[in-house]
Each structure stands twice: as structure tokens, then as C-alpha cells.
Amino acid sequence: MSITETVPDTLAPNLPEPMFRLLGVSRTYRQKGREIRALQPTDLEIGAGEFVAIQGPTGGGKSTLLQLLGALDRPTTGQIHLAGAEIAGASSRRLTEIRAHEIGFVFQGFNLIPTLTALENVEMALEPQPLPAPERTRRAREALEHVGLADRADHLPSELSGGQQQRVAIARAIVSSPRVLLADEPTGNLDEGMRDEILDLLQRLHAEGLTLVVVTHDSAVARRATRRLRLQDGVVRDTTH
């Protein structure tokens, strides 16, 4: 599919000032001598303050797109603009700074360090920043309070429920005050009750102004979003309406 063919489906009209603008972005991998096009050439805008859900079958390119948005990977072709700055061609050092300051990440598996307390896990996200230890601790406590876990700061992950562990992971993601939160199946390991609690928290963070992009297989999660994209065979389509 050509770039021009994808524009009507992926560039929504009347978006606010875009947080992300993708122009002709594709991603190709080589695997066992074969070329795999994980993402077809795509033009896409995500407005500042949007809550976007990305759905689609396994292997359809969802995680690839999220990694590109999060500066965890570089596109094979095209440009990626974050708040007006082109990042696809940025230096590795600059991409590290972007990930540390501009973007928060939440994953299905929580990715907490089991030997560290909730507070220490959140503090770890501030290590790249030149902050004195007391300031890191203060900010980490504030982040835990923001997700309703101030009273669990000294608990190890093994002493927390799955929902509480994900709250710690979200606190870690927002402690640096990012503009964007990217979440890859954030409720995939949770039961229905805990899923709804995490969704309520994510919606509250979005209401506070955070741009939120969530990859999910769960339609209940996608229904909370203000905009829904479907990614299949590397092709992005807007299915909001």
C-alpha cells in the first residue's frame, strides 16, 4: 500500500496540535534470510492529550509501532516527530534523553526489580537525571501517592497484588513527568476487577493532560479510549467511527 493510500484512514481531521507525526514510516526486519515488513509505510498523527488504543492480531505490528513511538527502535524509512522535533534520526544519546524525560512506559509484565521496594523501583526511573538522592525519594513518594500506594512504599513486589504491582509500574512511568505514556497490554496479567482499577487510573492520568497510547487485545480497554486504531499486516487504520 502506498503512503498516499494510507493517509485518509490514519490522519484524523481536526486533531489538536500533534504530539506524534509519522511521515512515511515503515519498519522492515530480516529473519532467517527473509524480509519481514512489520509496518507498512504509514502517515499518522496523534494529538497532544489524546487517548489512543491500538488493536489488532498478534504479529500485526502493534508492538513495533509502539517501540517506534517510544524511541526504542528506529524506522527503516520515514520521519517521526515528537512535539515537533524529528527523532528518527536523532543520536543515541538524544534518544536516551527522550526516553528518560518525555516518555513513560508501562508493560504487561510489570518489570519490577524483585529485590527493591516499591519506592526504590520508582526511584530507579530517576537515575538518569542529575538529582540529589533526597529529591529522587521525594518525587518517588509523590508518584506512589498519585497512584494510591503511599502506604505500600516499603513493600517488595512479592508482597503486592498484581494490580498494586502495575500501579508501582505506572508510578515509575510518570515520576519524571513525561508528556506521553505508552502502555503495552497494561492489563493483560490482571483479572477483571484489577483491570478496571488500572483503567480508571489511566483514564485519570489522561484527564490530567497526559497523552496516552495503549496496545491492547481487550475491547473493554479499547472502549475507554477516545480514538481507536487497528494494525493488521503492518497497515494502520483508524476505526474510531
In a domain, 71, yes or no: yes
Residue 161 CA: distances (Å) to CA of 93, 130, 142, 155, 229: 36, 32, 20, 11, 31
- Sorted by sequence, the CB contacts under 8 Å of residue 25 that are 6+ apart come out as 39, 41, 42, 43, 44, 68, 75, 77, 78, 79, 80, 88
Which pTM was predicted?
0.87
State residue 3's pLDDT score.
34
Query: Which helix (H) or strand (E) is 204 found in, with range?
Result: helix 192-207
In a domain, 200, yes or no: yes
State residue 6's pLDDT score.
40
State residue 57's pLDDT score.
87
In a domain, 203, yes or no: yes
State residue 58's pLDDT score.
85
Beta strands in 65-115 (DSSP E): 77-82, 85-86, 103-107
State residue 16's pLDDT score.
53
How many angstroms separate the CA atoms of 1 and 190, rounded? 37
In a domain, 143, yes or no: no
pLDDT tens, position by position, 29-65: 888 888 889 999 999 999 999 999 999 988 888 989 9
In a domain, 173, yes or no: no
Counting the structural domains of the chain, the total is: 1
Domain that holds residue 210: 3-102+178-238
Give burial (CB, 10 Å; 0-12/13-18/19+) of 53.
buried
In a domain, 183, yes or no: yes
Query: Of 55, 10, 43, whose CA–CA distance to 214 is shortest?
Result: 55
Q: Residue 129 pLDDT more than 90? A: no
pLDDT tens, position by position, 79-100: 999 999 999 999 999 999 999 8
Beta strands in the chain (DSSP E): 18-31, 34-47, 51-55, 77-82, 85-86, 103-107, 180-184, 211-215, 227-232, 235-238
In a domain, 81, yes or no: yes
pLDDT tens, position by position, 147-194: 999 999 999 999 999 999 999 999 999 999 999 999 999 988 888 889
Which residues share a beta bridge with 35?
30
Q: Residue 216 pLDDT more than 60? A: yes
Q: Region 18-37: what's the mean pLDDT? A: 91
Taking each continuous run of H as one helix and of E as one strand, the counts in the chain are: 8, 10
Contact 209, 47 (CB under 8 A): no
In a domain, 195, yes or no: yes
CATH code of the domain covering residue 208: 3.40.50.300
State residue 189's pLDDT score.
86
Which residues share a beta bridge with 103?
180
